[in-house]
Structure 1
Amino acid sequence: MTLLNRITIDPTICHGKPCIRGMRWPVEVVLDLLGSGMTIDNILEDHPELERDDIIAALNYARILLSGQIPAAA
């Protein structure tokens, strides 16, 4: 599984926002947690359903969007 395959878009989950592995974990929420000062380890400790690669995938997804590229929907 490539990292970006961890990002899914489903109109029936979180109003079609990009989410982590089909769960109700929008990419924007993961980015908010990081932006609030939490480390990856803090997030994983508080939310064991997430994996390190999920967080890295969220960061890569955001980077691709900001670069002007459009990532393929998983």
Structure 2
Amino acid sequence: MQSRITIDPAICHGKPTIRGSRLLVTTILELLSGGATWDELLADYPGLEAEDIKASLDYAVQLAHFRSLPLAA
């Protein structure tokens, strides 16, 4: 995951991106949560690889384990 997700203060204000590009991890996650398929993402973003999508999901899992916040009812 670490080689696929990069954080660089000079790129997108230090937000996690795919391999130093300007494609934000949050963009990938939002598209997936909105119903986009892996195949659609791979077609829409030519430089994106399946391993990048998996790394984005793994990154989200790690963040979910980091801290729990109560959800509003």
In structure 1, the partner of 2:57 is 59
5 Å matches for 1:1-74? 3-68=1-66
Structure label with greater radius of gyration: 2
Structural RMSD (CA): 1.2
So what's the TM-score if we normalise by structure 1? 0.85
Q: How many residues align?
A: 67
So what's the TM-score if we normalise by structure 2? 0.86
Q: For 1:5, what is the secondary structure of its paired residue?
A: coil
Gaps in structure 1 of 5+ consecutive residues: 70-74
Deviation at 1:4, TM superposition (A): 2.9
Structure 1 runs (4+) greater than 3 angstroms displaced: none
Higher relative contact order (CA 8 A, sep 6+): 1
Deviation at 1:26, TM superposition (A): 0.9
Alignment identity in percent? 52
Deviation at 1:36, TM superposition (A): 1.1
Deviation at 1:64, TM superposition (A): 0.4
Gaps in structure 2 of 5+ consecutive residues: 68-73
